[in-house]
Structure 1
């Protein structure tokens, strides 16, 4: 049975080939273009979801019919397939054409001018693309990203089901809880003054499922966070492959994703090569020290070296009393203009200056800060293991600042150094042993670094020692892990803290007692007092995954109906003004009214 055969068409615009010559067909699609050659000859291009087909009009009546239509009108064409005289090898249907006997207009485009040419919509202003997204999606390039998304989601579902996971949906309307980002709040009509919250993630629900006796859970979960947009983050909502396993630890989670993801990346990715299991494990501290980032791009074969001992006392003021990091690039033959631009780009992104010098082909230190290094040239060359014709980029500051600036430098250098950057592949790694606590930038006090429900390395004992002053809380690491691919954080996960006593110990270090935990997380705390299994999970971002697979730089390119950077839906006009009666029903009074979209 041909699933495409309907009342409106017997074939699609992408399937006709030489073997169909002589066949009577009915096609339906959008009028992509019409070229009139004469009063009795014209060529139309009909496009549907599956492709395009050339339609040849050889009568004055048919030419007139197409001339009255604006581009993007939908039409039905009934006619006969024949071999083309001038074949187009670039098109799958380029060997044939359809000679119509009948044309029927199904949906007339009433606009003489389109907001942008459909097949070149990606060149249009983004606000126009989002406002007329239904036209933008007609562009085969844009459509293909959405098709890819569907294929990837389907493959993920099959793989997870094949590993024994059950797909369970969790609530969208839930309670607000402190999870790191702003909640989207929903007022309750039946309970004046009270609010639901859209879930930032199904975190608590999936842990409660483990406490309920379910063994393996997953869902393609919608998550809602009121946060600003970035290239790899869409404002408002996003989707993740949310999963949790009972009676499981870190390696159990790793084993599942290391089996699920590589085949999908190899099959659907722009690059055909993907890491195989096991993925490289890198501790957080080692990642910062070696790559200057907890999201290292392992395709880049450049690393940080510590140059503090040899350069901090060289007489160059920005290095004095600071940590100094170096990135050494053999064979980097950039011009002074290119180096100046590189340093400027890093400073814009990192907010810190970059310094440099070069060891030339004669073994002399030249350029940049070279004059400060002449007296210690031998020590510098030996300490950094420099070979002639090597560029050295340098960062300085407090340790973390020098590391992070060095990480930005590495990523900016990569496109300029093809010999040190194997771009055409997907490289996965696990970042493990994240700090459990950190000093808050605003509060200046001890705070959770990531997920407060993670199990600390050392359990209750290490927390008690920290409370007693025997261990520095900042030295405590947790069973937290990130999955990183090509410098993009795909997900965070953790072995969960399923023991109420350990949970209380963990929260007490950040000045929250048992009553605070009960008040903030009542369901999870109470469930764990009834005996919960050890459990662990993770949630790779579907949007970011598809963005990587498609080779796109912006996450909006792989979302069917994305918001703009200001969290506005220009197509639907959201957020928008509502009627006063709606506010009255919800017992809400607006003190400010924003501009309409």
Structure 2
């Protein structure tokens, strides 16, 4: 070994020991008579000391030739520091240096390898191997590692078996776009990379492996944002002989266990909220319940008063912002500008101030008198000092817009603390949703989700009203996982495919292997998948998942470090039976 100890290991009780450390030069401070070198590895930093008149002159000369990020081996005696550093785990000691060996030199890094760096995101992604030396990224990856260990520990104790499923599978038309892989041995045919192991884990249930899990890499060719990557990891699970409550209880147990083991937090039982209630109260199927401001509908008290904006609307709905009646005109204009942004899409915002003296001031005083505004306040359960914010329009659109405004107000009022965790299950989703472009129904989750038994008779007559045996886990307004009880009967699966617009031939071609398996004793089964990268980011109180993936892609789906995706040679294309395409402009 090139070291006897790590750079985060030594303490006062090691004083007097002769030790050997290896690592990277974090920084050098040369004060003339004294030289300090901070040596770093992934365990921490240890300070090395040289002193003119006491340390060998040749050693001091060698030390002055070192640069940042040089890889060195250092040998010396552990001594007590005169000026201790309580911010460092090794801050009580330093190494009286006796020998330095340069193991490898380093060019000057393009940005500082510090907690707070001067490198922009694209530059740091290009030199990701350098960025990964910084403590914030190191801590993110170690958190991810611990999450994976504890996940496996919990599931193993629940008698789950980890089984790997294939990465080269068949492309399917539902869901996001597939990444496809040409087959050299089967010209003109393609594999797809899995968006999830869905059908394979169902086949494992047919095979009798009644508790399966996998920390599995999945792939989706979709537009990217902070919480999406083209390749991502799921905690993928399936169980046989279960109903919805069994799934919810088992995996609520997993999440509560992880919070206790990793963050020391005891989360209370997760409430259950039906999808319809989530949309009515929050305008979102992933509501942030860390704060109130639930929606209040005003059609019965706001319409029919001659205000055309309300009278022509399908829905008049608002939120009450406690203690915000003192907002200035400038602040209210900023809120109006916020809801009129293209990303939100509202045409305007109505406000009502419930002043501390009990009077009202609104942007619609011309149409509504104090008595009318008082009735609104009654609906909101508003108190003097509160601010009512109201939108109107098409019901689905205005709920979405008000959800954005509610989240914005929660942020402005400091109500969305990332270290305050509020989880819930959203249940009873619609089974299908109508797609105007295709003029057909699409599965809201996937085609293998079971309808609620009480809604089965509606599958052919009124499919839009069928509820799914499906559930999502939401924490702090982020969908962390989702799943469903699956269809395990061939005839019901055929009915589902028919409702989705599949011909019998198309269903057989795409999913015949699964329907055939259902004829050989498929047990009732269901499961769930959690976004592992999102879960890691959530535990760290972060929005972006990039820092929790060792080598992520940028917003264009590119790995700028290795310059991928890239063109391949004409010879490779010929072998695959593909045409040469012109390389894109960089």
Same fold (TM over 0.5): yes
Match of 2:405 among 382, 392, 409: 409
Q: Structure 2: how far apart are the matches of 1:395 and 1:187? A: 51
* Aligned position for 1:285: 276
Deviation at 1:178, TM superposition (A): 2.2
> Residue 20 of structure 1 is aligned with which of 14, 17, 30?
14
The 5 Å alignment of 1:180-259 reads: 180-234=175-229, 236-259=230-253
Match of 1:4 in 2: none
What does residue range 347-358 of structure 1 map to in structure 2 within 5 Å? Answer: 347-348=340-341, 349-352=343-346, 353-358=348-353
Q: Deviations over 1:178-211 (max 9, x none)?
A: 2311111100010100001100100000001001
- Given that 2:37 and 2:48 are in contact with CA atoms closer than 8 Å, whether structure 1 keeps it comes out as yes
Match of 2:494 in 1: 504
Give the deviation of 1:370 after TM superposition: 3.7
Q: Which moved more, 1:583-592 or 1:240-249?
A: 583-592
In the alignment, which residue of structure 2 is the partner of 1:491?
481
- Equivalent pair of 1:221/1:240 in contact (CA under 8 Å): yes
For residue 506 of structure 2, give the secondary structure of its aligned residue in structure 1. helix
Aligned equivalent of 2:80: 83
Which of the numbers 429, 438, 449 marks the counterpart of 1:434? 429
Give the match for residue 316 of structure 2: 324
Distance apart, 1:454 and its partner CA: 0.8
Q: Is the 8 A contact 2:286 2:477 kept in 1?
A: yes
RMSD (CA atoms) = 1.7
Q: Distance in 1 between matches of 2:117 and 2:532?
A: 22
Distance in 1 between residues matched to 2:84 and 2:265, nearest whole Å: 35
- Post-superposition shift, 1:466? 4.3
Aligned length, in residue pairs:
577
- Report deviation, 1:336: 2.9
Alpha-carbon displacement from aligned partner over 1:332-372 (angstroms, at most 9, x marks no partner): 24333333323323433322243322111122221433433
The aligned residue for residue 570 of structure 2 is 580
Once the 2 structures are TM-superposed, how far is the Cα of residue 565 of structure 1 from its aligned partner?
0.4
Preserved CA contact (<8 Å) 1:273 1:424: no
Distance, in Å, in 2 between the alignment partners of 1:486 and 1:165 is 28
> In the alignment, which residue of structure 2 is the partner of 1:149?
144
Which of 531, 548, 558 lines up with 2:538 in the alignment?
548
How far off is 1:518 after superposition? Answer: 1.1
The residue matched to 2:491 in structure 1 has which SS?
helix
Q: Which one of 268, 277, 280 corresponds to residue 276 of structure 1?
A: 268
Per-residue deviation, residues 487-513 of structure 1 (Å, max 9, x unmatched): 000112000011111111122223323
Whether contact under 8 Å (1:121, 1:136) holds in the other structure is: no
Match of 2:2 in 1: 8
> Which residue of structure 2 lines up, in the alignment, with residue 482 of structure 1?
472
User: 1-side partners of 2:562 and 2:416: how far apart?
Assistant: 42
Q: Helix, strand or coil for the counterpart of 1:585?
A: helix
The Cα of 1:326 is off from its aligned counterpart by: 1.0
1:52 aligns with 2:45: yes
Distance 2:137 2:118 in 1: 12
Deviation at 1:401, TM superposition (A): 1.3
Does the 8 A contact of 1:32 with 1:44 survive in 2? yes
Superposed displacement of residue 415, structure 1: 2.2
Local SS of the residue matching 1:539 = strand
Unaligned runs of 5+ in 2: none
1:307 pairs with 2:298? yes
Distance 2:428 2:117 in 1: 42
* Contact persistence 1:328–1:390 (CA under 8 A): yes
Contact preservation (8 Å) 1:448, 1:510:
yes
State the distance in 2 between where 1:395 and 1:431 align: 25
Deviation at 1:464, TM superposition (A): 4.4
How far is the alpha carbon of 1:276 from its aligned partner? 2.7
- Runs of 5+ in structure 1 lacking a partner? 1-6
Q: CA deviation at 1:330?
A: 2.1
CA 1:117/1:130 → structure 2, altered by over 3 Å: closer, same or farther?
same
CA contact (8 A) 1:312 1:320 kept: yes
- TM (norm. structure 1) is 0.93
Q: Secondary structure of 1:240's match?
A: strand
Aligned-partner Cα distance in 1 for 2:133–2:581: 41
SS of equivalent to 1:9: coil
Equivalence for 2:335: 342
Q: Aligned-pair distance for 1:172?
A: 0.4
What is the CA-CA distance between 1:535 and the residue it aligns to? 0.3
Pick from 28, 35, 41 the counterpart of residue 29 of structure 2: 35
- C-alpha distance after superposition, 1:540-575 (max 9, x if no partner): 110000010011121112111100000000111100
Q: 1:73 aligns with which of 62, 70, 74?
A: 70
Q: 1:383 to 1:140 in 2, by over 3 A?
A: closer
Question: How far 1:318 sits from its partner (Å)?
Answer: 2.4
Q: Closer, same or farther in 2 for the Cα pair 1:92/1:553, shift >3 Å?
A: same
Name the structure 1 match of 2:374.
378
Distance 1:116 1:537 in 2: 45
